[in-house]
Structure formats: C-alpha cells, structure tokens
Amino acid sequence: MRELANAKAKFGTAPVYFTAISTILGAIMFLRFGYAVGNVGFAGTLLIILFGHMVTIPTGMAIAEIATNQRVRGGGEYYIMSRSFGINIGASIGIALYLSQAISVAFYLIAFAEAFDPLLSWLQSHYHIVIADKRLISMPALVIVGVLMLTKGANLGVTTLYVVVATLFLSLISFFLGNPVDTVPEGGFSFFSTVKDPDGFFKVFAICFPAFTGMTAGVGLSGDLKNPQRSIPIGTLAATITGLVIYAFIAYKLAVSATPEDLNSDQLVMQRIAAWGPIIPIGLAAATVSSALGSIMVAPRTLQALSADKVFPSKALNKWLSKERGSNSEPFNATLLTVVIAAVFIAMGSVDSVASVISMFFMVTYGAICVISFLQHFASDPAYRPDFKSKWYISLMGFLLTNYLMFKMHPGYAVLSIIVMVILYFMVANTRQRFTGVAKVFQGVIFQINRKLQVFIQATDKDNDNWRPSVICISPDFFKRPTAFTLMRWISHRSGFGTYLHYIEGYLSKETNREARETLSRLIKLSGVSGSNVFLDTLISPSFTSAVAQAIQLPSVSGKETNTILFEYSRDSPDFLPAVIQNLSLVKATDYDVCVLSSTQKNFGIMNSIHIWITPNDLDNAGLMILLGYIILGHPDWKKGILKITAIFPEHDISEYEKNLKEMIKVGRLPVSPHNIELIEQLEDVSVRDVVVQKSKDDDLIVLGFGYERLKQQGDEFFTGYEGIGNILFVHAAKERAIDTYD
C-alpha cells in the first residue's frame, strides 16, 4: 500500500496555526455569533463556547498525541484514523470527513457573499442595481478560488493566509475599540437577556459549532509539512486556545454593545459596533475566502489519500483521483471534484442548513479521533510512545460529548450520519476485503482486558466450586476425522473452554516449524468456517507420550487451569487405541478428568439423542457424565436433541437409586424428562455392554463411565465390543462432580 507523502514538503508550524485560526475566526464569528448572543444570552453563548471546546480541545490533544507518536503523512485526520482503526473503518469515516471538508468550501463561499451586503445596498440605493440572488457572487468566487488552487496550488493558499490573518486581527481590534449601538440603554447588560421566543440552545449550538471546527484545518496539510510531529500539535493547540479566548471576549463585547433584538436581526451587527465599520465586511470576506482556500487545500488531500489506499470500488476512479500535477504534486483531479461538490451545495444550501450538516460530519470525525486516543491508553502498546500525552479521561469525555451533542443538535441528522457511516463502511469493506475492519489498537485493548481477566480468574478460581470444563485435546487426526474437534466445539460453545492441539510427530526444526505454521493456518481457516470457540495450536514432539506430558503442563489460555483431557481414536481402525491407553496412566498422575471418544463412521448421526449410562461402578462419574451431556445439548447443533439416562443397578437397590437420581436431576435443573430416565435391573448372565448395544443402537452419542482399575484389568478389551452403535464418550471423573443446586 503506497503511503501518500510529499518529498518536497517545506511548510513549518506557522501555516498550521494560521490555517486553523483563520478558519476558527471566520464566517460564524462575523455572521452568527450575534445571533447566538441574542437567542441564548451571554451566559448561554459562553456555554456554547465551553461545550464546543470540550469537544475540540480533547480532539486537539488527541491529534497532538497521535501525531507525536507516528509519522503523519498526507491525508491528515484520515491518515490518523485509518492507521489506528484500520482501512475499513478509517476510510468510511475519512469519506465523510472529505465530504464535510468539501461542503465547507460551499459554506464559506455562501458566507463570503454575505460580506457584500453593504455594497449591494449601496448599489441599489445609488444606481438601482438589484442583485437579489447572492449565488451570483458565491458561484464566481468558487470558480476563481478553484482556478487559483488548480493552477497555483497550496503555495498560494499559504501565502494568502498571512494577509488574511492580518486583516482578521485588524477587524477584531476595530470591533473591540468600537462603541455600543444607539439602541443600547445604559446599565442594560444582563447575562441572560434574549429576544422573545428565542431559538433553542442546541439549534443555536448546531449553527455555531462549525466556528470551532477550524482547529483541525491545519492537520490536512500534514503531507506538506517538514515536521508534522512538531507542527501539528503546536499549531493546532495554539489555534484552539487562541480561538477560545477571542470568542469569549467577542461574546462579552456583543452582549454589552447591542440589544438582543439588534443582535438577532442584523447579521452584520459587528459593523455597527466597530470603530471603523467597513473593516468588518472586509474581514468577513478575507476570513471566508481564506477558510475556503484552507478547505479547498485540505479536502483534495484527504480524497487523494483515500484513493491512494484504493478504497473506492473502481480502480480507474482511484487512479484518476490520486493523479498529481506540478512540481509540488498537487492533487489536481481531487481538487476538481471538490469544486464540483462545492458548487452543488452553493446552489442548494443556506448558511444555517449547511452549517448543521457540516457539524454532524465533524462530530463523527472528532468522536473517532478521541476514541482512538482513549483506546490507545488502554492498549499499552510498547510502540505507542507519544512525546505529547493527553489523558484517557479527557479523550473519553470528548468522545461521549460528541455523541451526546449530535443527538441533541438534530436527532434526524445524527441518525442519518450514522446510516451513512454504515453504508460507507460496507462499501469499503466490500472493495478492500484484505483489510481488517478492526485494527491493532482494538487488538491491544482486547489483549489488556484478556490479560487482566486471566489474572483475576486465576486468583479467584481456587475459591470457586462452580466447575466448568476447561478441556485440552491432543490428536494427530484432525484432517482424517475432526470428530474430537467437533466435540470440543460443542463443549466450549458457552459453558466451557477448549484447547485443541494438533500433534505433529518429529523433532523441532525449521522444516517441522514451517509445517506446524502451515498446519495451524489450515486449522484456523477450517475453525472459522465452523464458527467454533476452540483455541487451536500445534505441538511438535518425538512421541505421543512426550506430547501428552507437555500438553497437560500447558497453562490454559482461558485463564483457568485445564481440568479435563480428551483423547480420541477410531473404532473402525483402532491402531491408535494402545497409545491412548498407555497415556491414560500418565494422566492419572494429575487431577484431570479424562474423556476418551470412540469414533465411528456413523459419527454423531442426526444429533437427536444423548444417552447416558450409569452403573454401580460409575457413581463417582455420574455427575460429570450428566453435566457434559447437558453442556453438549446446549449447542445449536443439538437444538432438537434430548437427554436420556439409563441406570443399571441390582434389583434391591433400584428404588433407592431411582429416587436419588430423579432428585439430583430436579434440584440440578437439568432438562431431563422423568420419562427419559430408565432404571434396569442388572442380570448376572447379561453384560452391561450387551445391554448398551441393544438399547443405544439408534442414539447419536452414548456416554459411559470408566475407572482405572477396570481398565487395568481389561486393557484394550474394555473399549471393544460396541459394534453397531454410534460414537461413545467414555468419562472418568478425578473426583465426584456435584451438580450445582445453588442452595
């Protein structure tokens, strides 16, 4: 993936600061801040400034933090998000960011036309020339700005910034030196004075919020900066703080210099207050043109970065948008498209409506940047070492406040912006399937949560009597028959945890290590298709016995100690059975519960019935056998399955055992119908094995108990003689597992 970078980048910190401050002190300041004071009062306006900066300051600090940790190339905010969130999420937000930047060009040029009100009034009164449609001003202005940017590039924009900023500060000085308008009564200032029937606080906030979004304007120049790690933090934060102070003083000056009615009705009321009135429309024109130039510099670079990452569905479109011209590699085609989008919004929008749309898109972007910073604090990535460090709670506040304000400003626009984000995400995900939607920042957070949970579980597990299976299985036969893996999948679906180790016979070497890695990739791919929750790995060892010895000493990745081991062999080709029996004596030295799965070609059938058999020799195993049956039955594969229990006891003990068994089922709240519990008298001339074969030939999984003493006496014969029935799970409990009743 090609990174967008300009080898001839030559700008320092000043362009970042001036781009940001000239955008902050722009159209909203001149045209709508009087309206804000008139509708929500001086106190309400201060609250708007406070809320706005409670979003922008955390965002500015987050940008500063991320920028001082990684090299920020072309694309500014988009680059930060895509390299932290991943291309899919970053690009979906990046497209919305680009649209907000492109629409901002239209917004500023619509506001630019408002600066001509005094001139239009003069032309009408002196020469009877009437220009009612201000699009006749804003559209030609867009053409001029577009042509200048297409021919001169970013150098013109940065040069113009210095003139604009000087004009801005002259207009502010004149405004602060001015006197109140004639209609202001003496002693009439009030913190809470508003017009009658004022607009709501959040409506006013939505209109004014774009005033504060200019703080990130300089970030879009990242590809043209010599040292973005230094210039972006200093320039962005300095402009944000400067804007905060100036806006607070402007709100006070407006409140003491004009009545709420004047502030609400006259959008150029600052002209009436200023010591030299004409400087205000001049300052407005300069500010809006500079903001338009800043946006038209930044937006194409965002779009160029998106196309460089090939996020759009057409290769030809990506190539066309990333095309550059000139010695400074200007994004010519991206600039051309930005001009077209701006023209559409100039043709159909007003200052207030366009401001509300822009606010939503910027809120989404700022929230994303804040949550990146927040998550990075918890990921504890060793590679994340920013020179400037924000605080996690500041970033979290910024993220939560952006979401809250979005829905308070305009719930409809908020929902619509989220829908647009989702559509864009799926578009990008479908186009760039090789990129993950969740990047390493989320992996780091999940790692930290998992690490803490593991330590917590290990520390508390010793005092916890609530048993749940933590099963480890080691087998060389996954690709021959995944029967054991299937059983592990069922056990670990909800109540348990499974670790499946594929055994590779041999000594550790480059060749066997490569084989193990390739095998693991195959296992993970097949596991993903099956939707399992089983943890997979490979184990290289010279013998199965040494592999078992290694496996039973491995710590469980679940945070709980492994308590159960599963072996598996084919009843049709029982060549592996002696190895299983040989290693059962090794496992006996541990406190592990042991399961041996005897597989057949019949496999698990239609997964309709699990039949548990209990004999007098299985009293210690019964609880574990029933629990495993219940756990397996909880998997969706067994949603139509039933649990059957058959107990074989001497005739004189049947009534007592039946009562105890039914009571255990009842208080243990297990889904076993009394009709599915059967007690059979044990006959001397009929073996248990024959009874099982006779009654379980239509069952899909048979569960039997076993003990080491019986196994020692009978050897291989213990597992034989079950021809004609399905898979059998032999279970041995290291100790009696009581069915928890929560008494």
Q: Which of 249-258, 433-442, 566-575 has the lowest mean pLDDT?
A: 433-442
Per-residue pLDDT at 682 = 77
DSSP classification of residue 555: P
Helices (H), 541-620: 544-551, 577-587
d(CA 494, CA 632): 10
Per-residue pLDDT at 92 = 81
DSSP classification of residue 325: B
- When pLDDT is cut at 50, 70 and 90, the band that residue 534 belongs to is confident
Do residues 547 and 541 touch, judged by C-beta distance below 8 A?
Answer: yes
- When pLDDT is cut at 50, 70 and 90, the band that residue 131 belongs to is confident
HSE, side-chain direction, 13 A CA sphere, residue 316: 0
Q: Is 105 exposed, middle or buried (0-12, 13-18, 19+ CB in 10 A)?
A: buried
More confidently predicted of 211 and 177? 177
Six-digit token pair at 55?
Answer: 């979003």
Residue 349 has pLDDT above 80, yes or no: no
Per-residue pLDDT at 384 = 66
- Where do the domains of the chain lie? 13-440, 467-567, 600-743
HSE, side-chain direction, 13 A CA sphere, residue 85: 24
Residue 727 has pLDDT above 90, yes or no: yes
Q: What percent of the chain has pLDDT over 70?
A: 82
3-state secondary structure of 191: coil
**In the CATH hierarchy, which fold is given to the domain comprising 600-743?**
Rossmann fold (3.40.50)
Which backbone phi and psi does 584 adopt, to 5 degrees? -65, -35
Per-residue pLDDT at 88 = 77
d(CA 147, CA 163): 20
Q: Which residue do the tokens 């479908």 mark? A: 430
Residue 558 has pLDDT above 60, yes or no: no
Q: How many CB atoms lie within 10 A of CB 657?
A: 18
d(CA 565, CA 620): 17
Measured CA to CA in angstroms, residue 511 lies from 398, 479, 505, 529 at distances of: 52, 20, 12, 28
d(CA 58, CA 438): 23
Measured CA to CA in angstroms, residue 438 lies from 84, 369, 372 at distances of: 9, 15, 12
- In 3D, which of 175, 214, 247, 194 has the Cα closest to residue 39? 194
Residue 466 has pLDDT above 70, yes or no: no
Do residues 573 and 598 touch, judged by C-beta distance below 8 A?
Answer: no
Q: What is the pLDDT of residues 404-440, one digit of tens each?
A: 888 888 888 888 877 887 888 788 777 765 555 455 5
Per-residue pLDDT at 234 = 86
Q: Which residue do the tokens 């004639």 mark? A: 182
DSSP calls for 85-103: H-HHHHHHHHHHHHHHHHH
Residue 359 has pLDDT above 80, yes or no: no
- When pLDDT is cut at 50, 70 and 90, the band that residue 742 belongs to is very low
- When pLDDT is cut at 50, 70 and 90, the band that residue 188 belongs to is low
Q: What is the pLDDT of residues 654-686, one digit of tens each?
A: 777 777 776 766 665 555 666 777 888 877 778
Six-digit token pair at 736?
Answer: 């009696």
3-state secondary structure of 568: strand
Q: Which residue do the tokens 């606010």 mark? A: 359
Q: What is the pLDDT of residues 8-36, one digit of tens each?
A: 456 778 878 887 887 788 788 888 889 99
More confidently predicted of 195 and 433? 195
Do residues 492 and 533 touch, judged by C-beta distance below 8 A?
Answer: yes
Which backbone phi and psi does 569 adopt, to 5 degrees? -145, 165
d(CA 149, CA 364): 28
Q: What percent of the chain has pLDDT over 90?
A: 19
Six-digit token pair at 34?
Answer: 């009087």
Per-residue pLDDT at 540 = 92
Residue 5 has pLDDT above 50, yes or no: no
**In the CATH hierarchy, which fold is given to the domain comprising 13-440?**
Amino acid/polyamine transporter I (1.20.1740)
Six-digit token pair at 115?
Answer: 């600066």
Q: What is the pLDDT of residues 82-105, one digit of tens each?
A: 776 677 777 887 888 888 888 888
Residue 3 has pLDDT above 50, yes or no: no
Q: Which of 82-86, 198-202, 624-628 has the lowest mean pLDDT?
A: 82-86
Q: What is the 3-state secondary structure (H, E, C) of 331-387?
A: CHHHHHHHHHHHHHHHHHCCHHHHHHHHHHHHHHHHHHHHHHHHHHHHHCCCCCCCC
Per-residue pLDDT at 327 = 62
Mean pLDDT value across the chain: 81
44 CB contacts (<8 Å, ≥6 apart)?
36, 192, 194, 201, 204
276 CB contacts (<8 Å, ≥6 apart)?
174
Residue 182 has pLDDT above 80, yes or no: no
Per-residue pLDDT at 1 = 36
- When pLDDT is cut at 50, 70 and 90, the band that residue 252 belongs to is very high
Q: Which of 37-46, 326-335, 505-514 has the lowest mean pLDDT?
A: 326-335
Give me the amino acid identity at 492.
Answer: S
Residue 127 has pLDDT above 70, yes or no: yes
Q: What is the CATH number of domain 467-567?
A: 3.40.50
Six-digit token pair at 308?
Answer: 């460089």
Residue 282 has pLDDT above 50, yes or no: yes
Residue 248 has pLDDT above 50, yes or no: yes
User: Is 467-567 the same fold as 13-440?
Assistant: no
